[in-house]
Homo-oligomer: A and B are copies of this chain.
């Protein structure tokens, strides 16, 4: 039976540090502030927003909701972003994605100041992550994987890590971060041949394919750590990960659960990025 790596204690530890850093900033007269920019009224966005606002409040971070109608023009959205860029009291901006399809998403994302890009959606943050030059921030979910790994003391340097998925939100950034921690990283995707064989050889498996229970128990073996980033609706209508958790947990050494795992760390990471942004902007 695997050790189940829960997100809650990881989030709690991050939040503890965030609250301390926020307090230190407030003592300097700076109240760290996140602006949450939402276009439209998607229930998932609103749910996440409410939980982020509540958590920010508890940590001494100011949260500002900026809500635009679903039919807002691209130029008006860009104007709003520029306004937030120029607002010295706002340190980080979370913009919900994807934007409406009629918009040029890249053009909009480019507008956001890299210094306030706390979820790593700008080309500047991406270049920063890829090159290690310190610009911007990694996407929160990707960083949450790394926070889980660090908290639970999973060895990474010199280990074979297999990342399933190559999205800019998880697969690629996690790959870059594992590489900078000296893992030997293999990036797999839909065109990968013999994914089961490749997964079986890994010591660390990051499942970020977004496909319900893609990773089967017989792809896995003793000695592995599995970080499951997937959150899907399974064939039975219940939430499930990219890994067949119930069977996998009897095989591998350590595994994150589909609910209460990586996903429960992202808000903590987001708010840690807000204080980080506020610190950087204050020390400039």
Q: Does A25 contact B (CB under 8 A)?
A: no
A268 contacts B by Cβ under 8 Å: no
A40 at the interface (CB under 8 A from B): no
Residues from chain B with a CB closer than 8 A to the CB of A166 are: 179
Give Cα distance in the complex from A135 to B192, angstroms: 27
Which B residue sits closest to A180, measured CB to CB?
B166
Return the CB mask of A233-258 against B: 1 if under 8 Å, else 0. 00000000000000000000000000
* Contact present for A123 and B129 (CB under 8 Å): no
A260 on the B face (CB < 8 A): no
Of A41-49, A85-93, A181-189, A221-229, the one touching chain B: A181-189
Known interface pairs A123-B133, A130-B172; A184-B179 also in contact (CB < 8 Å)? no
Partner pick for A126 among B106, B127, B175, B184, CB 8 A cutoff: B127
Number of identical protomers: 2
* Contact of A198 with B by CB under 8 A: yes
Interface residues in A95-131 by Cβ distance below 8 A to B read 106, 123-131
Chain B neighbourhood of A179, CB < 8 A? 166, 187, 189
Closest to A172 in B: B130
- Minimal Cβ-Cβ distance residue in B for A123: B127
Name the B residues within 8 Å of A126 (CB-CB).
Answer: 127, 130-131
A176 to B159, CA, bound (A): 21
Q: What B residues does A186 contact at CB under 8 A?
A: 184-187
Question: Which of B127, B131, B158, B175 makes the CB contact (< 8 A) with A193?
Answer: B158
In the assembled complex, which residues on chain B have CB atoms less than 8 Å from the CB atom of A129? Answer: 130
- A191 in contact (CB, < 8 A): yes
A187–B187 Cα distance when bound, in Å, is 9
Tell me which residues across on chain B come within 8 A of A198, comparing CB atoms.
160, 184
Contacts of A282 in B (CB 8 A): none
Partner of A131, one of B123, B158, B185: B123
CA separation between A129 and B175, bound complex, in Å?
15
Q: Are B184 and A185 in contact (CB under 8 A)?
A: no
Beyond A123-B135, A127-B128, A175-B187, list 18 extra A-B contacts (CB 8 Å). Answer: A126-B131, A129-B130, A130-B130, A131-B168, A157-B191, A158-B191, A158-B193, A160-B193, A166-B179, A182-B189, A184-B189, A184-B191, A184-B192, A184-B193, A184-B198, A185-B186, A186-B186, A186-B187
A residues in contact (CB < 8 Å) with B: 106, 123-131, 133, 135, 157-160, 166, 168, 172, 175-176, 179, 182, 184-189, 191-193, 198
